[in-house]
Structure 1
Amino acid sequence: MNDASSKPWTMQQIAAAAGVSVTTVSHTLSGKRPVSSETALRIRGLIDQFGYVPDAGARRLKSGRSGMIGLAVPDISHWYFGRIARGVEELANERDYGLIICSTSNSDPRREKRYFNLLRTRSIEGLVYTASREISPTDELMRMASSSSPIVLADEEVVGLPGVPSVTSLNFAGAQALGRHLRALGHTRAVIVAGFAGLRSTVERVAGIRESFPDAIVVHGDFELQSGYDLVDELLAQGVGFTALFGCNDYMAVGAMRRLHEAGLRVPHDVSVVGFDDVDIAGVITPGLTTVRQDMLEIGRRSAQLLIEGLDAGSMRGIPSVTLPVELVVRGSTGPVAGE
């Protein structure tokens, strides 16, 4: 019997050692057919031990497929999008697909066109796309979707794209939970530091907060730390009074907290602050940020899964959209209204 230092085993040898058919080994690797967890674990253990590597090149040459998918994100250096990218990469690797990651520089149309050309020329078989701005009917994404190109939207749903599935979180429900949490603490005056006005996630999060604070003032930024800081600076300069602040994401919430601190306002004694996402910084700042946790890694994995399912089926038609649950995480940045 071979050991780990000898020549890698063939699929036939893996099947024989596992006591299964070659087809079962193939299904374990591709995920196209269900295989019992016990059998899959035994097969993957043998693959890890004896170094079997699927002959992807030969299979793709025979099928005429590139075996590559693409991921377009606004900024790959951003922690949030990096988590989504990791999820896409993990699932693609499990399904034996290569991955090209494209940074669109916050959905710059010129960059987007370059990356959509990879899909048009079949350099990649499909694309996971993450939007960071409102999409108009003239955008390249709209044109590609109308041509039935294999596309899955990750993190943001875009209205008006029939046949394009999406993987998103329960944005409204998450913001709704934050609003109710603040209301239960006695807050009645709130401001909303929102993201880009045209994004579906922004609309849903604002609506969720406004269920509890219908008169909340809304200002719009770009999801970055400096944006939260600058918007709160403007609110304070205008003399706007509030005891609760909702950041449409954690970065803007943290930027807001910094400006409040500089203004001599204590969080949460004077102002309670909440965010959305639960990025790494939310749990390490002082006070910790009350927020809604969404699973960015799972958004990436499920997006890649939907895309590959559509590619294997030969069409994205019938591939359903997915909405993932969220979780309220209460930390030290929220408290009762002073004097209550």
Structure 2
Amino acid sequence: MLSPETRPWTMAQIAAEAGVSATTVSHALSGKRPVNPETVARIQRIVQEHGFVPNSSGVRLRSGRTGVIGLAVPDIAHWYFGRIAKGVEEIANERDYGLVICGTMNADPRREKRYFNMLRTRAIDGLVYTTSRSMSDLDELVTVAQGSSIVFADEAVDRLPEVPSVTTTVREGARLVGEHLRELGHSRAVVIAGYAGLRSTTERVAAFREYFPTALTLFGDFEQQSGYELMGDLLANDVAFSCVFAHNDFMAIGAIRRLREAGIRVPEDVSVVGFDDVDVATIMSPALTTVRKDMVEIGRRSARTLFDVIEGEPGSARSSVLPVELVVRGTTAPRRD
């Protein structure tokens, strides 16, 4: 046990030593109200000398909030979701909030229920939810979303149009890919798509088919091995194509790896386009042509929207759609006869 001499001082003791009120000490330490700079310096000096631990439980009781938000992602180890987490954490820090990152293991019902219960029991003030890759069972999500502070990041959910979301113009991105490949003279295309049940998958397939109506579409799981294996199936069945549109960069990289193993050159023989613009897209050789999404900004915007939900009137938070851009690099070239 700490002796009275070594225990951190209370706010009242800090205030008495500084010759100010406890309220002034609170404002000086939080920065939420203007305080004379000399007074702030004096208070900070005393705090450094004697220590001070805020009574966070008292703050929570007075405000009715925990000071913590959650972020649920399918896979916490995945680069893509790590970028979103970075953006959410930035805004949480700005608001002096803690962040709990929850891995749902692609919507494992037991894991999701555990995290949803954190919302129900007010263990967290709100949740940024990155929707599952499979979206197989929405009943629990629909239930918890009613009356809770929740925002969807990256993927909206058709059954919950009233829940605010932060998405990107994936449909426009697919159109940019289609237009680019058409301008290069390609006519036979293959699409290595994501999960069939996702809205973004449906939108990308439909938009790309505006340029390639007969494009063969195969569905993968956004992992590199998926692109590799699907490309192997195409080659084994002698499917004729001169270009490939993969719904994320990892599947594109897997497809390129399988093409090279078969002695097919990229982009001389087959052009390949990805989606997302992950870090490795710029360092592979040739660098990957892709559609750039700002995942960190998706995280930032989602967190800001969540705080709008927490602090505002019901229904006041708005969904938003962020732009994408086509980044042309070395994996696309004019079609060879």
Aligned counterparts of 1:201 and 1:27: Cα–Cα separation in 2: 44
1:219 aligns with 2:225: no
* Deviation (angstroms), 1:64: 2.3
CA deviation after TM superposition for structure 1 residue 56, in Å: 7.6
Matching residue within 317, 320, 325 for 1:319: 317
Assess if the C-alpha contact under 8 Å between 1:127 and 1:150 holds in 2.
Answer: yes
Residues 253-272 of structure 1: pairs in structure 2 closer than 5 A: 253-272=252-271
Deviating above 3 A after TM superposition, structure 1's stretches of 4 or more consecutive aligned residues are: 7-10, 49-56, 134-138
Aligned residue type for 1:60: R
Where does 1:246-325 land on structure 2 (aligned, <5 Å)? 246-313=245-312, 315=314, 317-325=315-323
CA distance in 2: counterparts of 1:56 and 1:149, whole angstroms: 27
2:97 maps to 97
Paired with 2:302 and 2:292, the residues of 1 have a C-alpha distance of 18
Unaligned runs of 5+ in 2: 1-8
Q: State the 1:133 CA deviation.
A: 2.8
Answer yes or no: is the 8 Å Cα contact 2:107–2:135 preserved in 1: no
Deviation at 1:54, TM superposition (A): 10
Give runs of aligned pairs for residues 6-21 of structure 1, distance below 5 A: none
Q: Distance in 2 between matches of 1:75 and 1:54?
A: 35
Return the alpha-carbon distance in structure 1 between the equivalents of residues 147 and 166 of structure 2: 18
Task: Measure, in 2, the Cα distance between the counterparts of 1:334 and 1:324.
Answer: 25
What is the alpha-carbon distance in structure 1 between the residues aligned to residue 172 and residue 192 of structure 2? Answer: 18
> What does 1:64-75 align with in structure 2 at a 5 Å threshold?
64-75=64-75
Letter of the 2:109 partner, please give it. P
Q: CA deviation at 1:27?
A: 6.7
Kindly state the Cα deviation for residue 160 of structure 1 after the two structures are TM-superposed.
Answer: 1.5
- How far does residue 63 in structure 1 lie from its aligned partner after superposition? 1.2
Distance change (3 Å), C-alpha of 1:27 and 1:309? farther
Of structures 1 and 2, the larger Rg is shown by: 2
Equivalent residues of 2:308, 2:316 under 8 A apart: no
Alignment-mate amino acid for residue 289 of structure 1:
L
**Contact between 2:194 and 2:222, CA under 8 Å: does it hold in 1?**
yes
Is the contact made by 1:247 and 1:253 (CA closer than 8 Å) also made in structure 2?
A: yes
How many residue pairs get aligned? The number is 313
Tell me if 1:26 matches 2:11. no
For 1:154-169, list aligned pairs within 5 A.
154-169=153-168
Residue 107 of structure 1 and its aligned partner are, at CA, apart by 1.6
CA 1:240 to 1:122, structure 2 compared with 1: closer, same or farther past 3 Å?
same
Q: 1:163 corresponds to which letter in structure 2?
A: E
Q: Alignment partner of 1:85: what SS?
A: helix
TM-score (norm 1): 0.84
Residue pair 2:66, 2:123 contacting (<8 A) in 1 also: yes
Distance 2:236 2:317 in 1: 50
Counterpart CA distance in 1 for 2:286 and 2:132 is 29
**For residue 31 of structure 1, what is the aligned residue in structure 2?**
none
The Cα of 1:55 is off from its aligned counterpart by 4.8
Q: Could you tell me how far apart the structure 2 residues matched to 1:27 and 1:276 are? A: 45
Mapped partners of 2:327, 2:55: distance in 1: 43
CA apart distance, 1:25: 4.5
- What letter matches 1:26 in structure 2? K
Find the aligned partners of 1:234 and 1:63 in 2 and give their Cα distance.
58
Please name the residue that 1:331 is paired with: 329
Pairwise CA distance, 1:139: 2.6
SS in 2 for 1:26: coil
Q: Which moved more, 1:172-181 or 1:126-135?
A: 126-135
Other structure's SS at 1:66 match: coil
* 1:67 Cα deviation from its structure 2 partner: 1.0
Once residues 203 and 185 of structure 1 are traced to their aligned partners in structure 2, the CA distance between those partners, rounded to angstroms, is 25
Alignment of 1:143 onto 2:143: yes
The one-character-per-residue Cα deviations of 1:82-109 (angstroms, maximum 9, x if unpaired) are 0000110110010111110001111212
Q: How many percent identity over aligned positions?
A: 58
- Per the TM alignment, residue 318 of structure 1 is displaced from its structure 2 partner at its CA by 2.5
| Displacement of 1:135 | 3.3
CA shift for structure 1 position 323: 0.3
Indicate the larger mover: 57-66 or 250-259: 57-66
Correspondence list, 1:124-143, <5 A: 124-135=124-135, 138-143=138-143
1:143: how far off?
A: 1.2
Structure 1 contact 148–163 (Cα < 8 Å) conserved: no
**Which amino acid counterpart does residue 72 of structure 2 have in structure 1?**
A
